[in-house]
Amino acid sequence: MAISTGLLSIADLTPEETQRLIQSAAFLKRRRKSRSLLKGKTVALLFEKPSLRTRVSFEVAMWQLGGYAIYLSPAEVGLGKRESIADVARTLSRFVDAIVARTFAHETVELLAKYGSVPVINGLSDHEHPCQALGDLLTIQEKKGHLKGLRLAYVGDGNNVARSLILGAAAVGMDFAIASPPGYELDKQTLRQAKKLASESGARITTVSEPRRAVAGADVVYTDVWVSMGQEAESEMRRRAFAAYQVDAALLSKAKEGAVFMHPLPGHHGEEIAEGLLDHPQSVVFDQAENRLHIQKAILVRALGGKPA
């Protein structure tokens, strides 16, 4: 899948496309006044779940590029309830130039892409969060000056964020070590896919159950929530299973000197992150949040055929 037809998974991109997006985003970040690149273009933000960063960064990105974004809340559209996913996709495609979709089931973004005739960008599904991972790679590139040869330690749930991140890291040659409790590991298919990409880029993929083993020698320590949107019924069970997987200053100190701490946010203080960790001198989480804006500008410009930066 070329990005001009959408972005459902980070694996839709070749490693070269990923690098180009990171470079374009860095360029657009330096030159904030690029108002005309998407003049006259319109994007629908079709969301089934809450959002702060994804919604605001896409809306601001479109505005700053001279285009327009329309936010469609779950209650308004009733995706698959008031109207079928296929009919929503076909109708929206007559009005807008791209659809950014945040859905529960990954199949929903796939169906939107199948029936729509405009690019569909995955703004988070239960399976992946490609815009997050691309923004994260931009942040790591900024903080460390390069990506290849670095080691990222992910502590926690083998979820949508972990899935996109491991595939993105493996594609650009970054070692990825993940520590998850039993029953919450990344699925075998994603691990196979990541190992294949890693064998081509020279990266190493390691799965462990002990957080300290993942973090030893890491340049980046990363975690995400224990209970993702849609998993609220499992909250108690998950909190018990993940109790030994909290990232705190002591765990961070086991990483390489100068390692950065990352989290996609929203963060749950006292759960996956110790109180105060976001304010730790090694935390880069708000730069990471800001970079969603810059990477999504690069994604939108490529997907909508604006003059590439």
Q: How many residues sit in the footprint of ligand NVA (CB under 6 A)?
A: 9
Choices 64-72, 168-176, 225-233, 253-261 (CB under 6 A): range interacting with ligand NVA? 225-233
224 binds, options ligand NVA, ligand CP, none, Cβ within 5 to 8 A by partner type: ligand NVA
Q: Determine if 125 is a binding residue for ligand NVA (CB under 6 A).
A: no
Q: How far is Cα 168 from Cα 214, in angstroms, rounded to an integer? A: 18
Dihedral of CA 259/131/160/230: which sign? positive
Two tokens, residue 49: 């779940």
x-marked contacts with ligand NVA along 185-224 as a string, rule CB under 6 A: ---------------------------------------x
Residue ranges in 238-267 that form contacts with ligand NVA under rule CB under 6 A: 264
Q: How far is Cα 224 from Cα 180, in angstroms, rounded to an integer? A: 11
Helical segments of the chain, H only: 15-30, 53-64, 74-77, 85-95, 106-115, 130-144, 160-172, 188-201, 211-215, 235-241, 249-252, 285-303
225 binds, options ligand CP, ligand NVA, none, Cβ within 5 to 8 A by partner type: ligand NVA
Q: Determine if 119 is a binding residue for ligand NVA (CB under 6 A).
A: no
> In 3D, which of 171, 166, 140 has the Cα closest to residue 154?
166
Dihedral of CA 77/83/84/90: which sign? negative
Please state the closest distance from residue 300 (CB atom) to ligand CP, in A: 16
> In the complex, which residues of this chain contact ligand CP (CB under 6 A)?
51-54, 124, 132, 264-266
228 binds, options ligand NVA, ligand CP, none, Cβ within 5 to 8 A by partner type: ligand NVA
Please state the closest distance from residue 57 (CB atom) to ligand CP, in A: 8
Two tokens, residue 92: 């929206």
Task: Kindly tell me which of 266 and 276 has the beta carbon lying closer to ligand CP.
Answer: 266
Please state the closest distance from residue 2 (CB atom) to ligand NVA, in A: 26
Helix, coil or strand: residue 152: strand
CB 205 within 8 Å of CB 194: yes
When CB distances to ligand NVA are compared, the closest residue is 228
52 binds, options ligand CP, ligand NVA, none, Cβ within 5 to 8 A by partner type: ligand CP
Backbone angles phi, psi at 93, to 5 degrees: -65, -20
Residue ranges in 45-104 that form contacts with ligand NVA under rule CB under 6 A: none
List interacting residues with ligand NVA (CB under 6 A).
124, 159-161, 224-225, 228-229, 264
